[in-house]
Structure 1
């Protein structure tokens, strides 16, 4: 055989082997992206989605790090993603950025609608990685806009130490597919959570209902036991509420309850759980709170309610509340009991303290104490 023909055949074989290798690599890459895409679309809670996007993606795609930036069109993204979980919020610091539609309008307008790869993405959107500990190690990046119904809902920044990992025009199809599936996943997951929360809300006061409180209380108790923290359960009851309804009507009574909820929320933290437990009775769980600190909160709340009059039809209506409190740490052999027992006992004790406050003249705070045998 002619040597030149042999060399040409060998070169063609090398090219063919290269194309086959590249095709197989692309198949694996496509399978990886599609598998991950279906997982995030199937995420049932914002917490699960958050873990997939901010942790699992780094492992799956062998990244140095990644940043997710969301435009908070509904002003609830932070609450939905963290559900009052301060530990998770700290763990995701600088990795989940939430933009306000008004305050961050200029930043949002800078988002392009097509992926941007390489050093150009780093230069244009460097502010997205400024807070990361690994920012100095980043050599290449992929900026992926998140779009739904022609509206920007956020962006992702995939980061690598490899300067050749993300290059202009290379692998754009896979990344566009990933960004599209991520945008769908975020929208679907948050909307599902919003619908779920409606079933957990008290329609009148827009605070949580008893069903949600009982579920959350178990989780918070388990967490506090795990970290050796205290948890305070606080029952609040509007004094002489029946007289208010009888004298001024149920609409006035409803206004009183809404007014009280607003004052409660002003005095407690975002991680505390406020719920309407029934009628004019409300319950608040204060996780990771010492009893003396909770007592100060309860006194501030009681005074705020007393000093804040409600104006109805040019008339001033003053109300007061009685408050009963119980501490998780006061439960005997708490670590040996199941969650249902702990929840039931804690609520019973707070309710007994509330009864003492009302029997003792109302408009006061009472802490449950173990009876002397």
Structure 2
């Protein structure tokens, strides 16, 4: 009367119920330690678990719980590990209100279902990981230039069609060459990673952060006019300059300059037009003394 797929988060040693459904429909998933519950037991042991007649003592021993409707008590539970090679990646489980609900044939069929599901889920994970690597800058963990432009062109078309505001921020680390020359390129890479992380922490989920080239980052701000974009740029500037970046035990004070431009249907026909104005604003910020925001 119920079906569950739980996937393992190896880094945090947690399970997440990604699909949980009974006769009343789908239920919201939860996360929990692999030290708890029936699914946690299956992940830890790597073995099937068939409980023919569930009772309170077994529930206490496994530190498990009911979900869904509770006017009828679950009596039978069958849980099988999902595997990618020798590695357990999750659990697939069913439960019934009657004791001794599953036969040996049922178990064999469910094991085959688990094997097929594990292959499909692992292929989906590998596809998602391959796509993530294809669109992400490997050093900074932000979108690479190609994917940034793909997303930005789509946002420009949306802004044009619906007459919505849109802005761009160009970011460049101040005196980055000096950092590379005095501390080395590995230190420079660490500075760029830290700067990108601080920017990501300050941006909205709808904002698009990408690596434009070298030490330059670019941010696309949907539904944001010039005033909002300048305020966002000031927050980013303050976040980067707020405290030194620690590199190999040394604290490095880092600042960045910002150029801001907003999409205008009257004067912009291409994404490149907005980026060009943001780039010119960035040049003005550099020329005016660095560690500041300029807008055009």
Are the counterparts in 2 of residues 324 and 354 from structure 1 also a CA contact under 8 Å? yes
Q: Distance in 2 between matches of 1:157 and 1:227?
A: 47
Does residue 168 (structure 1) correspond to residue 102 (structure 2)? The answer is: yes
Alignment-derived partner of residue 331 in structure 1: 264
Alignment-derived partner of residue 42 in structure 2: 111
Q: Distance in 2 between matches of 1:138 and 1:228?
A: 55
Are the counterparts in 2 of residues 117 and 168 from structure 1 also a CA contact under 8 Å? no
User: SS at the partner of 1:355?
Assistant: helix
Alignment-derived partner of residue 319 in structure 1: 254
Are the counterparts in 2 of residues 117 and 167 from structure 1 also a CA contact under 8 Å? no
Cα RMSD for the two superposed structures: 4.7
Alignment-derived partner of residue 155 in structure 1: 91
Q: TM-score, normalised by structure 2?
A: 0.67
Q: Distance in 2 between matches of 1:229 and 1:156?
A: 45
Are the counterparts in 2 of residues 115 and 175 from structure 1 also a CA contact under 8 Å? no
Q: Distance in 2 between matches of 1:137 and 1:230?
A: 53
Alignment-derived partner of residue 353 in structure 1: 281
Are the counterparts in 1 of residues 191 and 247 from structure 2 also a CA contact under 8 Å? no
User: SS at the partner of 2:254?
Assistant: coil
Following TM superposition, by how much is the alpha carbon of 1:301 offset from its aligned partner in structure 2, in angstroms? Answer: 2.0
Following TM superposition, by how much is the alpha carbon of 1:201 offset from its aligned partner in structure 2, in angstroms? Answer: 3.5
Alignment-derived partner of residue 344 in structure 1: 272
Structure with higher helix content: 1
Following TM superposition, by how much is the alpha carbon of 1:236 offset from its aligned partner in structure 2, in angstroms? Answer: 0.5
User: SS at the partner of 2:42?
Assistant: coil
Change (3 A) 1:232 1:175: farther
User: SS at the partner of 2:91?
Assistant: strand
Change (3 A) 1:352 1:98: farther
Following TM superposition, by how much is the alpha carbon of 1:237 offset from its aligned partner in structure 2, in angstroms? Answer: 0.6
Following TM superposition, by how much is the alpha carbon of 1:367 offset from its aligned partner in structure 2, in angstroms? Answer: 3.5
Query: What residue ranges of structure 2 are gaps of 5+ in the alignment?
Result: 19-25
Following TM superposition, by how much is the alpha carbon of 1:278 offset from its aligned partner in structure 2, in angstroms? Answer: 0.7
Query: What residue ranges of structure 1 are gaps of 5+ in the alignment?
Result: 1-63, 82-92, 369-373
Following TM superposition, by how much is the alpha carbon of 1:350 offset from its aligned partner in structure 2, in angstroms? Answer: 3.0
Q: Distance in 1 between matches of 2:233 and 2:3?
A: 42
Q: TM-score, normalised by structure 1?
A: 0.55
